[in-house]
Amino acid sequence: MSSILIKNIRAVDTIIDQITDVLIEDGKITMVENNIRAGADEVIDGTDLVLMPSLFDMHVHLRDPGFTHKEDILTGCSAALAGGATGVLAMPNTKPPCDDPEVIRYIKDKAKDTGVDVYPVGCITGGMSGNGLCDYEALKEAGCICISDDGRPVERAEDMRRALELSNENGLLVASHCEDLGIINGGIMNKGETSKKLGVPGMDRASEDYITAREMILASSVGARIHICHVSTEGSTAMIRFAKSRGVRVTCETAPHYFMLTDKLLEKRDADYRMNPPLRTPRDVQAIIEGIKDGTIDCIITDHAPHTAEEKASFESAPNGVVGLETSLAATLTALYHPGEITLKKVIELMCVSPRRILGLEVPSIREGSTADLAVVDLNKKWTVEPEKLHSKSHNSVFKGMTLTGKPIITISKGVIRYDIREERK
């Protein structure tokens, strides 16, 4: 394996923040000090750049198997690397769904040479149908570390309670898509002034808030962990904050679009701005930002959900979802770091450290002996999101046409450079 020497770079993790040199050998960081003179196969000039642990996105949809016209494991992993991520948690709404060890093994085998650690999520219920719980022991043995029916809620509370109970026995994290289908009742965007103006059915925030509360009550009743997916409302954020103060073992995530954008964008009648949960109101956006700042929200994810242009053509009938793997770090830097809402160390905690810690995975750092899963980032690079240039097969980006500040330049996975756009900076 080749060696890499990174010179004169600002190295930042949750502990250190210093200008230094970093030597990588055999997939590990072997030296972090000034003026390293060791020979190396590759020398990187890190002047004006930042070295940080690579991102881990704990909520993506790779669409493989079954929907590879939207995305596949190879293109999804390529998009992850372009976004500075070397690990992802892949949701189970594939075809067939990830309720069988064979599907889990297929995903892991296809991903093994990509440079991205792909962790398939197993289904909570068979076929995500709500009819009977899966064999969690078999799913774990095949490589699962998390179970979810994401894309759908677990409708029956007793099924979720039992899944949480069994998760304690199997050491699996339960991640919940908090949505009450009866309340949603065909809604396609946030229920509010914009949905009324457009004359389309809205998604009442009570849907998310109600199931968020239910999941925390159920988890508390059996002493289990619960992870709340893609938090988007002021109410859910407040309830999670309260539950944490009461000792409930709850963690949660949000995505950049929920702390940057509002449902006013839907006035364009463009389905690329439709996702589930939907864009909300300015008040919700501010609540999400406050939840990030005070530690209520544990991590930032993408809910990367590719769909083709043909599928997104109709505003009313298009499927929900947006791509995000290549824009998440840039969007977070633009919206939270550069305006001074959070520090760079907090960005790293939210996007690199907490997701891995929640899942019980090794957390990379910039110190001797750590696995060299790293991203070299230009914090000040301004770039305009051009969806057709993204690595994903699908281009349904909610940030299309926006200018963001900050971009991964190099992504290193286990000591190997897997993404490199240094030439573009010249």
**Catalytic annotation, pick one of 303, 373, 378, 420:** 303
Q: How far apart are CA 278 and CA 255, in angstroms?
A: 11
Q: How far apart are CA 395 and CA 404, in angstroms?
A: 17
Check if 99 is active-site: no
Positions marked catalytic: 303
